[in-house]
Amino acid sequence: MEIYPPTEPHIVHLNKEHPAVIALCQVDSKLAALIRLVGDMALKPSANPYESLVMSIMAQQLSAKAAGTIQARVRLIVPQVTPELVLAADEETIRQCGVSYPKIRYIRDLSSKVLGGEVTLDDLHALDDETLMKQLTSVKGIGKWTAEMFMIFSLGRPDVMSVGDAGLQRAARWLHQLEERKDGNYLGAVAPAWSPYRSYASLYLWRAVDNGYVDKGLVL
């Protein structure tokens, strides 16, 4: 298993000269066309894993816009997102920001476990993907999808494939004009070729959804 050594967060600039982009374009002509259409992208991992997990829990089952609105409201109540301040914040005040009661319980459970030492977030970069997934999903309220989003957007892991993400599945079907599958796993037919850069390929698929290419049925 590949081990990720401790590193400082750094911005990944995805452009035509990036080795990952070159590799993706070489193995998938359709993806290459999407990459040219989308243009340059950047992925900035987080320097605060705890805050990122809290925000990921808040974003569960919400659109990016709705999640951003709620997260901004919470930041006004808790300007510094730390376990201590989150636990000290009034639950009803957080609820009024748009955070559901179950999510509040999940966030408080995470905070308690971080403070109690049951969850250690200091050495995440030293864990391989499989071990990290097991640790994250042991926390109440953090399922596979939330863990995958955290691994991609907060840690910048390059080869995470979220097969449970409906947007990615829809974009994969659109990109390769695939016939309907009973299992709905369109990524299974195309994503293996994208390894070891499946996270980066996912960024372009999400952008295709956000930009309306998928809904408009644009053919590349």
Domains of the chain: 12-44+160-216 (1.10.1670.40), 49-154 (1.10.340.30)
Taking residues 144-154, report their average pLDDT.
91
Taking residues 54-66, report their average pLDDT.
88
Structural contact between residues 174 and 217, judged by C-beta atoms closer than 8 angstroms: yes
Q: Which of 135, 133, 87, 134 is nearest to 107 (CA)?
A: 87
Which amino acid would we find at residue 24? L
58 by Cβ neighbours in 10 Å (0-12 / 13-18 / 19+) ranks as buried
Q: What confidence score (pLDDT) does residue 7 get?
A: 45
Q: What confidence score (pLDDT) does residue 123 get?
A: 76
Q: Which of the residue ranges 17-21, 29-33, 72-76, 137-141 would you say has the lowest mean pLDDT?
A: 137-141
Cα–Cα distance, 115 to 137 (Å, whole number): 18
Q: Count the helix, strand and coil residues of the chain and give each as a percent rounded to the nearest 5.
A: 60, 5, 40
Q: What confidence score (pLDDT) does residue 2 get?
A: 39
Residue 63 has pLDDT above 90, yes or no: no
